[in-house]
Amino acid sequence: MNLTLRIWRQRSSEQAGAMTTYEVRDISPDMSFLEMLDVLNEELILRGEDPVAFDHDCREGICGACGMVINGQAHGPERTTTCQLHMRHFQDGDTIDVEPWRAAAFPVVRDLVVDRSAFDRVIGAGGYITAPTGSAPEAHATPVPKEAADTAFEHAECIGCGACVAACPNGSAMLFTSAKVVHLNSLPQGAPERESRVLGMVAAMDEQGFGGCTNTGECATACPKGIPLPSIAAMNREYLRALRKGAPGRV
Amino acid sequence: MALATRTAHPSALRTLWGSTIGKKTVMAGTGVIMLLFLIAHMLGNLKIFFGPGDFNSYAAWLRTIGQPVLHHSWYLWLQRTALVACVVLHGVAAYQLSRRDRAARPQRYAHRQPARGSYATRTMRWGGVILGLFIVWHILDLTTGTLNPRGEAGHPYEDIVADFQVWYVDLIYIAAMLALGLHIRHGFWSAAQTLGANSRTRDRALKAAANVLAAVLTAGFVLVPVAVMTGLVN
Ligand code: HEM
Ligand code: FES
């Protein structure tokens, strides 16, 4: 396949960027989107130009590093991560637009790389359980109802890639935050911090400059892991419950 | 000596108004209150089909609600105050959240996708502004009578008939009711989502209920000008 790529090039967060056009030839339809970019980068290096910077790590759809917006869609036309997107979903002669995640909370570092540490700060505000770690506890020490385990597992699938924020017209992190809140709040291990977790994470989410939710549903459509839109309702339920209850033991 | 182990917590109300979820909750709560009012309002309007005696005495009865505990019209004023508070809170929250949302996405994508959300979803902001303007006009028209071609207190039936014989009044009114239908089509389901009442099993039923509610309210309100235009009510 021969393709025309229009890629966002930006040398640093301080400098202005622009869409820049490149041609790539003889791309195999079996390549992943990242491998196609590797081919482009090899050529750019041989020509003495700067390669296109993009984030990637596992290349198997589990680390969440490889986010980019392809033809206006987070992770491109298929419901998967960019590393798992194959070139067979494009046609020979296509022009493909590639842009970084766009959100005030995700500043561009360079080209297609954005700084997603705002997500880490949301996690730091309660996306964990306070328990002594060490060797893994005996699996049956804490019984977990099947339904709770299923809900927790489904939401634990979130890889924090940021596609939800990139797809949302408001740059909102509600789907990401709801995945974490629902995951931990549905488990007995998460119960002691049930209220402080949701209050803390939502406050951190607002502080990082993410937008609010207008229930447009773009996030759930873009999510490569299929976190469903009603998860946001579940987080709202937890949030309003926590506000009604106040902090535990408060006098 | 006691250790200062407690941190000061802001009140729940302050946290609510200070967070994106909380502001949206205020929008959902006020929206649902306005929606309940609109259902009653629409049903009341349909009494116009029983003639001027019936309709005007219904309007007079509205002023007697709560008597003798409340003085004449007091209940009506309480309700008006509550509804104005709802419109203001709803509008202020919408404005503040919209500004925040725009700031959170300062740069647009060069390649823009056609929006997948429904027309109703995409028109909530401007549709809401249209509703706000309509509410002002509607009060000046049929509550105070200022803009009504007739505008005589105690004679709402005659005022309405005079109103809807003017073509542009029909146009404004019907357009506003279509905007209302759209707003409720997204708004009802959205409120359920915001208030945490939605779940995977309820999602479809809530969307269906929103569609029915939007259609019934729009049709119920539009029936009145159509009846005047066709001479069914005169
Ligand atoms: C002052 C005029 C109004 C403005 C500016 C306005 C604006 C808005 C906006 C921007 C939203 C958020 C939509 C979203 O993106 O999810 C909304 C939601 C809503 N509106 Fe309004 N609106 C107005 C009047 C009304 C009226 C008269 C009703 C009466 C039924 C109403 C009912 C609702 C409901 C139920 C919601 C859902 C709340 C939620 O999203 O959780 N609105 N409105
Ligand atoms: S590189 Fe790890 S998910 Fe794509």
Q: Which of B20, B25, B122 to mutate to test the interface with A (most CBs of A within 10 A)?
A: B20
Buried b (16+ CB within 10 A) or exposed e, A207-220: ebbbbbbbbbbbbb
**What Rg do the C-alpha atoms of chain B give, in angstroms?**
21
Domain boundaries, chain B: 19-103+122-229
* Strand boundaries in chain A, DSSP class E: 3-9, 18-24, 69-70, 73-74, 95-99, 108-110, 113-114
Neighbours of B115 (CB within 10 A): 12
Name the one residue in this structure whose structure tokens are 């966002």: A8
Residues of A in contact with B15 (CB under 8 A): 199, 203, 243
Name the one residue in this structure whose structure tokens are 């069914």: B232
CATH second-level architecture of A3-110?
Roll (3.10)
Q: How many angstroms separate the CA atoms of A239 and A66, rounded?
A: 31
Name the one residue in this structure whose structure tokens are 């939401």: A155
pLDDT digits (tens, 9 = 90+) for A52-77: 999 999 999 999 999 999 999 999 99
pLDDT given for residue B2 in this prediction = 54
Phi, psi at residue A8, to the nearest 5°?
-70, 120
pLDDT given for residue A250 in this prediction = 52
CATH second-level architecture of A116-245?
Orthogonal Bundle (1.10)
- Which ligand is in closest contact with the Cα of A65? 2
Chain A contact for B108, CB < 8 A? yes
Per-residue pLDDT of chain A in tens (251 residues, 90 and over written 9): 999 999 999 999 999 999 999 999 999 999 999 999 999 999 999 999 999 999 999 999 999 999 999 999 999 999 999 999 999 999 999 999 999 999 999 999 999 999 999 999 999 999 999 887 788 878 788 899 999 999 999 999 999 999 999 999 999 999 999 999 999 999 999 999 999 999 999 999 999 999 999 999 999 999 999 999 999 999 999 999 999 987 555 55
Task: Choose one of B177, B183, B184, B217 to mutate for the ligand 1 pocket test, by most ligand atoms within 8 angstroms of C-beta.
Answer: B183
Provide the 3-class DSSP secondary structure of residue A228.
coil
- C-beta B34 within 6 A of ligand 1: yes
pLDDT given for residue A141 in this prediction = 85
pLDDT given for residue B87 in this prediction = 98
- Contact between residue B87 and residue B132 where contact means Cβ atoms under 8 Å apart: yes
CA of A59 from ligand 2 middle (Å) equals 4
Q: Which of A214, A232, A238, A245 to mutate to test the interface with B (most CBs of B within 10 A)?
A: A214
> Omega of the bond prior to B68 within 30 degrees of 0, cis?
yes
- Which ligand is in closest contact with the Cα of B117? 1
Phi, psi at residue A9, to the nearest 5°?
-110, 130
Provide the 3-class DSSP secondary structure of residue A193.
helix
- The first and second tokens of residue B6, run together, are 């407690």
CA of A54 from ligand 2 middle (Å) equals 11
Chain B contact for A71, CB < 8 A? yes
Task: Choose one of A83, A157, A223 to mutate for the ligand 2 pocket test, by most ligand atoms within 8 angstroms of C-beta.
Answer: A83
- C-beta B128 within 6 A of ligand 1: yes
Domain boundaries, chain A: 3-110, 116-245
Instruction: Give ipTM to 2 decimals.
Output: 0.92
Q: Which amino acid is at A94?
A: D
* Nearest residue in chain B measured CA to CA from A236: B196
Q: Look at A230 and B190 and tell me if their CB atoms are within 8 Å.
A: no
pLDDT digits (tens, 9 = 90+) for A152-194: 999 999 999 999 999 999 999 999 999 999 999 999 999 999 9
Distance from the B208 Cα atom to the nearest Cα atom in chain A, whole angstroms: 16
Q: Which of B107, B119, B190, B203 to mutate to test the interface with A (most CBs of A within 10 A)?
A: B107
pLDDT digits (tens, 9 = 90+) for B150-199: 999 899 999 999 999 999 999 999 999 999 999 999 999 999 999 999 99
Mean pLDDT of all residues belonging to chain B: 94
**What Rg do the C-alpha atoms of chain A give, in angstroms?**
20
Q: Which amino acid is at B57?
A: S
Name the one residue in this structure whose structure tokens are 């629902």: A182
> Whose alpha carbon is nearest atom 7 of ligand 1?
B128
Count Cα neighbours of B201 within 13 Å in the Cβ-side half-sphere.
0
pLDDT digits (tens, 9 = 90+) for B97-118: 999 999 999 999 999 877 777 8
